Amino acid sequence: MSDERTERLLAFHREMSRLRAFEEAVALGARDERLPGLLHLGMGGEAVAAGLFNRLRPADRVYSAHRPHQHFLAGGVDPRLVMAELAGKDSGLCHGRAGTMHLMSEQVVMGTGIVGGTISLAVGHAAIQAPGDVVVALFGDGAVQAGTFHESMNLAALWKVPTLFLCENNGWAEFSSRDEHTTVGGVVRYGDLYGIPAIEVDGTNVEAVVAGVEEMLAPVRAGEGPALLECHIARMRPHYEGDFREQNEEGDPLLAIEATLEGLGVLADDLGRTREEDLAWGRELLDSVLAEEPAADPAQDREFLYAEPPV
C-alpha cells in the first residue's frame, strides 16, 4: 500500500482532484450566473495537465489554448488569481483584462480565444530558448485542421527548434466530431509527414501521459528538433458552459486513476474523501473571490493599451 507507485499515484490523484474541483466550481458559477464569460472547461484533461507538468523544468514554457484553466493551475499559478480573473476582479491574474481564454502568466505563457492561435508562438519562443529548455504547444484536435498547425510543424522541423506539440484529442471540435472535420485518421500520423518523432497515448491514464511526455521530450531536450504527442481524452463538458450538446461521461481520468489505486489497495472511501474536500475547497474559493475581491477598474484601461517605452 505504501509502495512508490501508490504514493506517486496518490499525489497525482490529489492534483487531478484539485484541477477537477476548480472546474466544477467554475461550472457551478456559470450555472447560477455568478461567473461571466464564454467558459470552455478542461474537464477530462486532468491527466494530461498533471502528467505534462510533472516532467517540465522551471525554464520550460507552455502555450495553452482554448481550455486553459487547468494548465495554468498545473503550471503552479495560484488558483485564487485564476478564479479572480474569471470573475473579473482587479486582483485577477491579468487585472480582469484577460478573462477565461486569454489568461497569461510566466511558465504557462498564454491561452487563446482563437483556435490554433498559439501554436506558432511556441515555435518562435522555442527558437530562442537556452539549450535543454523546451516550449510546449498545447492544442486540441479542432486546431489540427487549421493551416497554422501545419505551418508550425513545418517551421519547427525546418528550424529544428525544441517544441513539443501536444494535441489533446477529445474527438470534438465545437459541436461536431472529428470525423466531420477531416478525412485524416490520427493526429499522430502528421509526425511521419514532417519527419519528427510522434506517438499517441491514452490521455486519461496519467502514467501513460508521463511516459509519453518523457519519451517525446527526450529528443526535444537533446536539441534534435520538435516532437508530437497525441493524447486521447474525453471532453466531459459541452463545448462551452451553457451549451447542452456533446459531452461525455466515458473517459473520466479521475475514475481511471481511482480504479488503479483501488486495485493497489487504496480505499475508495479515502479517495472519495479527497474529492469531497477538494470540491468544498473549490466552492469556498468561488464564494470568497466573488464576495471579497474588488471589480477590475476601468480607469486603468488606457494604461494597459501600450507598454511604456523606457525613458
Contacts with other proteins by CB under 8 A lie at 61, 63, 92-98, 102, 104-105, 109-110, 112-114, 117-129, 135, 147-148, 151-152, 154-155, 158-159, 301, 303-310
CA–CA separation, 59 and 135 (whole Å): 9
CA–CA separation, 187 and 169 (whole Å): 8
If the CB atoms of residues 127 and 199 are measured against other proteins, the closer one turns out to be 127
Minimum gap (Å) between residue 9 Cβ and other proteins? 34
If the CB atoms of residues 123 and 271 are measured against other proteins, the closer one turns out to be 123
Neighbours of 127 (CB within 10 A): 15
Minimum gap (Å) between residue 203 Cβ and other proteins? 25
Minimum gap (Å) between residue 114 Cβ and other proteins? 6
Are 120 and 135 within 8 A, CB to CB? no
Q: What is the DSSP letter of 141?
A: G
Residue 245 buriedness (CB in 10 A; 0-12 / 13-18 / 19+): exposed
If the CB atoms of residues 152 and 260 are measured against other proteins, the closer one turns out to be 152
If the CB atoms of residues 41 and 62 are measured against other proteins, the closer one turns out to be 62
Minimum gap (Å) between residue 104 Cβ and other proteins? 4
3-state secondary structure of 166: strand
Minimum gap (Å) between residue 16 Cβ and other proteins? 27
CA–CA separation, 193 and 99 (whole Å): 37
Q: Torsion over CA of 28, 266, 47 and 225, rounded to 10 degrees?
A: 160
3-state secondary structure of 168: strand
Minimum gap (Å) between residue 209 Cβ and other proteins? 24
If the CB atoms of residues 177 and 300 are measured against other proteins, the closer one turns out to be 300
CA–CA separation, 253 and 8 (whole Å): 16
CA–CA separation, 45 and 256 (whole Å): 12
If the CB atoms of residues 17 and 118 are measured against other proteins, the closer one turns out to be 118
Which grid cell sits at 212? Answer: 509519453
Minimum gap (Å) between residue 110 Cβ and other proteins? 7
If the CB atoms of residues 249 and 303 are measured against other proteins, the closer one turns out to be 303
CA–CA separation, 162 and 302 (whole Å): 37
Q: What is the DSSP letter of 96?
A: T
Minimum gap (Å) between residue 46 Cβ and other proteins? 26
> HSE (CB half, 13 Å, CA atoms) of 98?
25
If the CB atoms of residues 10 and 123 are measured against other proteins, the closer one turns out to be 123
Query: Closest Cα to residue 39, out of 99, 81, 110, 117?
Result: 99
* Start-to-end Cα distance in the chain: 62
